[in-house]
C-alpha cells in the first residue's frame, strides 16, 4: 500500500519515474518482467490522469506543447507494446537498464 503511494508520488512530482519503480516493485513481488512492464503501463494511466487533473486545475499545463507529441507518442506506445511480446527477456532487461542509466546521467549532467 505504501509502495503504491510512493509510486504515485514520484510520478506526480517528477512527471516520470513512477513506472520504473512500479516495474521493479512488481518484479520483486514475483511478477515476470514482461508482465511487470505491462502492469506498470496499466498503473500509469490513472496515475497520469490524476496528475494531469491537478496540473490543469492549477493552470500549469502547457497544452500546446504536449498536444504536438500526442499522436506520435500514441503510435510509439502501440509499437512498444507490440514489441514487448516479441523481444527476448535479456534484451528487454538491457534496454530498460540502459534507459534508466541514460536518464540518470542526463539528469546529473544537466
* CB-based burial, 51-66: b 16+ in 10 Å, e otherwise: beeeeeeeeeeeeeee
The tens digit of pLDDT for each residue in 45-96 reads: 887 788 788 888 888 877 777 778 778 888 888 898 889 889 998 998 899 8
Other beta carbons within 10 angstroms of residue 99's beta carbon come to 11
Is the predicted pLDDT of residue 13 greater than 70, yes or no? Answer: no
Q: What is the pLDDT of residues 19-50, one digit of tens each?
A: 778 888 889 999 998 898 888 888 878 877 88
Check if the beta carbon of residue 18 is closer than 8 Å to that of residue 7: yes
User: pTM of the prediction?
Assistant: 0.64
Of 4, 99, 74, 98, nearest to 43 by C-alpha is: 4
Domain ranges of the chain: 2-109
What does the pLDDT read at residue 12? 66
C-alpha cell at 109: 549532467
Please tell me which residue, 37 or 7, carries the higher pLDDT value.
Answer: 37
pLDDT of residue 30: 93
Amino acid at each position: 500500500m505504501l509502495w503504491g503511494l510512493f509510486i504515485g508520488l514520484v510520478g506526480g512530482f517528477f512527471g516520470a519515474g513512477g513506472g520504473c519503480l512500479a516495474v521493479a516493485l512488481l518484479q520483486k513481488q514475483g511478477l515476470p518482467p514482461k508482465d511487470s512492464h505491462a502492469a506498470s503501463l496499466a498503473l500509469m494511466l490513472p496515475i497520469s490522469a490524476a496528475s494531469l487533473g491537478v496540473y490543469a486545475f492549477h493552470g500549469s499545463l502547457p497544452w500546446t506543447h504536449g498536444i504536438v507529441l500526442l499522436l506520435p507518442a500514441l503510435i510509439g506506445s502501440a509499437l512498444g507494446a507490440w514489441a514487448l511480446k516479441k523481444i527476448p527477456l535479456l534484451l528487454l532487461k538491457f534496454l530498460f537498464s540502459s534507459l534508466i542509466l541514460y536518464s540518470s546521467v542526463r539528469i546529473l549532467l544537466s
